[in-house]
Amino acid sequence: MDRIEKRRPYIICHMLTSLDGKIIGEYLKLERAAYFRDEYEKIHERYGCKAWMCGRITMEEHFTFGHQLELKENIPPIPRTDFVANTDNRSYAVAVDPSGKLGWEKNHITDDYGLGDHIIEVLTEQVSDAYLAHLQKLGISYIFGGKERLNFTLVVEKLKSLFSIDELMLEGGGYLNGSFLNEGLIDELSLILVPIADGASNSVTQFETSSFLTNQHPVNFFLKEIEKLDDGGLWMKYVTKHE
């Protein structure tokens, strides 16, 4: 099926892993890993996607840094309907935050060039009225993906219909990636392989599973392209359907 005909964006899962498939761990703190982290960001830019998505833990670690909000009390009930603050943005940062915990203080994430990605929060209807009021005050867009659990097929269809997002870069963490894989929503895998073995038993891999995921089954990937990087690394591109 042609990308344009789909009701959802074309979705590229872009990840960096150790030789043993770990996406976090002590190996990323090594001096040798710095080059591969830089390559990861450069390849992200090369794709030129209008939007990128991460889960709450990743967003908290890299962007809100655990900031706790002081939300107003006694907020009047707010309807659980999608809120589109602005559809004229150059790019979007999509935060999967089911219960509304991220401590945003502005409505965009600024890159190294001073350009801002407008924030879109992905929520369930369990979120508090106070958090929704906070998002509206800041001008942060939000969409609902379900009452108690997220239906990511619905989420990505809304991203296309409400924000005209035709390509979405999915960048972890592992449980978010696993949810997309489970719903058959990954079209392409962009994988940077770091030539370091992490070895930690409690580290997260690029596709993790949860007890609430249903219809779990193996997913075939087909090699599209492979490129050697400096210092023994590889950039591999796979697709889930023969092209």
Query: What does the pLDDT read at residue 112?
Result: 58
Question: Is the Cβ–Cβ distance between 162 and 84 less than 8 Å?
Answer: yes
Query: What does the pLDDT read at residue 41?
Result: 95
Peptide bond into 139 cis (omega under 30): no
119: nearest Cα among 71, 128, 130, 103:
103
Residues whose CB falls within 8 Å of the CB of residue 154, separated by 6 or more in sequence, listed in order: 145, 146
Share of residues in the chain with pLDDT > 90 (%): 79
DSSP 202-227: T--BSS---TT--S------EEEEEE
Query: What does the pLDDT read at residue 90?
Result: 85
The tens digit of pLDDT for each residue in 3-56 reads 546 899 999 999 999 999 999 999 999 999 999 999 999 999 999 999 999 999
Q: Which residues pair with 51 in a beta bridge?
A: 92, 168
Q: Average model confidence (pLDDT) for the chain?
A: 91
pLDDT at 110 over 90: no
* Residue type for position 227: E
Q: For residues 25 and 18, what is the distance between their CA atoms, to the nearest angstrom? A: 9
Angle at 102 between CA 70 and CA 179, to 5 degrees: 150
The tens digit of pLDDT for each residue in 167-196 reads 999 999 999 999 999 999 999 999 999 999
Query: What number of helices (H) and strands (E) belong to the chain?
Result: 5, 10
Over the range 83-122, which residues count as b (16 or more CB within 10 Å of their CB) and which as e? bebeeebebbbbbbbbebbbbbeebbbeeeeeebbbbbbb
**Binning pLDDT at 50, 70 and 90, where does residue 212 land?**
low
Cα–Cα distances (Å) from 225 to 5, 69, 112, 138, in that order, read 25, 44, 29, 42
Q: Which numeric CATH code is attached to 1-50+171-243?
A: 3.40.430.10
**Binning pLDDT at 50, 70 and 90, where does residue 1 land?**
very low
Question: Is the Cβ–Cβ distance between 215 and 40 less than 8 Å?
Answer: no
Segments making up each domain of the chain, as ranges: 1-50+171-243, 51-165
The tens digit of pLDDT for each residue in 115-155 reads 689 999 999 999 999 999 999 999 999 999 999 999 999 99
C-alpha torsion 160→189→19→66, nearest 10: 0
Question: Is the Cβ–Cβ distance between 171 and 141 less than 8 Å?
Answer: no
Residues whose CB falls within 8 Å of the CB of residue 75, separated by 6 or more in sequence, listed in order: 128, 129, 130, 132, 133
